[in-house]
Structure 1
Amino acid sequence: MSEQSHRREWAAVCGRLRRIGGDANWFALRPRFDALVAATRAGEDTLAGWHALEADIARLVAAELDQTIRHGEFEDESFPGPTAMHQCPRALCDRVLPATPDRPPACPLFGVAMSERA
């Protein structure tokens, strides 16, 4: 996998992290989720582990019989006036988000504010 593809994959995982965490709670996979977060924060390349967790969650979601909509649709919000763009604080992924008027967005994986993009 090229460096660019690797960064795109990490951006996708970061973008889905809250959903993955919620699904991990729902399906009693939270210890596995927490272990992946800790290993990623420690600098390990855990991308394959994230993909495996997501595959297991997808299998469990498909097995649900209630057909309830569990997640809303994400829509990109635009803010009035110029906004600074922010990026991954550890340069792990290529995810970029606008800041809200009062603060930068938080990185869900590392739990810190995202860095302002130059």
Structure 2
Amino acid sequence: MATPGPATPEAPFEPSHPPVIEGFSPTVYSTSESFKKKFIRKTRENPMVPIGCLGTASALTYGLYCFHRGQSQRSQLMMRTRIAAQGFTIVVILVGLAASTMRSRP
């Protein structure tokens, strides 16, 4: 069994300075961005995600309205439409994530 080598003294931890992590730069997103500007930027990057979210919310709202009115068949159809819209949104998010990953590679 080998004995461990001598320990090298490290600088003490200072809370005022963030730790250095290889491959991570906290200053990349240093500019403060308002909610509106960020929403517009993200919508321009992947415009199908808000469309899928609006479709999901619309199908849910109309399905609940039909359920309240006693139209059970139409309510069931709208709930199935909502599931399809949610699936569409998830697929679009994953495709956008894969596309942005491919774009960031050198």
TM-score (norm: length of structure 2)? 0.27
Is the helix fraction higher in 1 or 2?
Answer: 2
Higher RCO (C-alpha 8 Å, min separation 6): 1
Is the strand fraction higher in 1 or 2?
Answer: 1
Work out which of the two has the higher radius of gyration on C-alpha atoms and give 1 or 2: 2
